[in-house]
Structure 1
Amino acid sequence: MIRHCVFLRFRDDVPATDRHSIYSDLEVLCAKLPGALTIHSGLNVSPETGMDKGFSEGFVLDFADAAARDAYLVHPEHQAIAGRIVASTAGGTDGVFVFDLEV
């Protein structure tokens, strides 16, 4: 299984409604994709002050395997959502941190 972790530093001017829309669109997409198992999104609730480096929210997606993750990455709907994310984060791609784990 692949756990796809994405941590975000949204710009201050991006309203919560826009953030929630991104997460909702990801949930809709993942419900359609073979091998996409679960998705969770939300705010960082860690008590370790400052350790988040400003990445205050994000999402975690579990895939059955690397092939399912790879299909998600190139899917046109993912590409569109990813573009919205980059446009909404502080510094564009600097405001996005992606880390995949084999679980």
Structure 2
Amino acid sequence: MIRHCVFIRFRDGVPTSDRQACYDDLAILCAKLPGALTFRSGVNVSPEVGMDKGFTEGFLIDFADAAARDAYLIHPEHQAIGGRIVSSAIGGPDGVFVFDLEV
């Protein structure tokens, strides 16, 4: 199983409704993709002050395997949602941190 972890530093002016719309659209996409097992999103609730490096929220997607994750990465809807996230992040791509774990 692959756990796809994405953490975001949204710009201050990005409305909560726009952020939530990205998560909602990702959840809809994952629900129709073979091999996408779970989707979760939320804000950072860690008590470790400063350790978040400004990444205040994010999402996790569990995929059955690397092939399912790879199909998601090239999916046109993922590309569009990812573009919205990057354009809303502080510094564009610098405001998005992606880390995949094999679990």
Q: Does TM, normalized by the shorter one, top 0.5?
A: yes
> Which amino acid letter does the alignment assign opposite residue 14 of structure 1?
V
**1:59 Cα deviation (Å)?**
0.1
1:47-79 deviations in whole A, cap 9, x for unaligned? 000000000000000000000000000000000
* Structure 1 residue ranges, 4+ long, deviating more than 2 angstroms after superposition: none
Aligned to 2:50: 50
Which segments of 5 or more consecutive residues in structure 1 lack a partner in the other structure? none
Cα distance in 2 between the residues matched to 1:12 and 1:42: 17
Number of residue pairs matched by the alignment: 103
> Which amino acid letter does the alignment assign opposite residue 70 of structure 1?
D
TM-score for both structures, normalised by structure 2: 1.00
Aligned to 1:99: 99
Cα distance in 1 between the residues matched to 2:75 and 2:40: 19
- Percent of aligned pairs with the same amino acid: 78
**1:87 Cα deviation (Å)?**
0.5
Cα distance in 1 between the residues matched to 2:73 and 2:55: 21
Which segments of 5 or more consecutive residues in structure 2 lack a partner in the other structure? none
1:74 aligns with 2:44: no
TM-score for both structures, normalised by structure 1: 1.00
Calculate the aligned-residue CA RMSD, in Å: 0.2
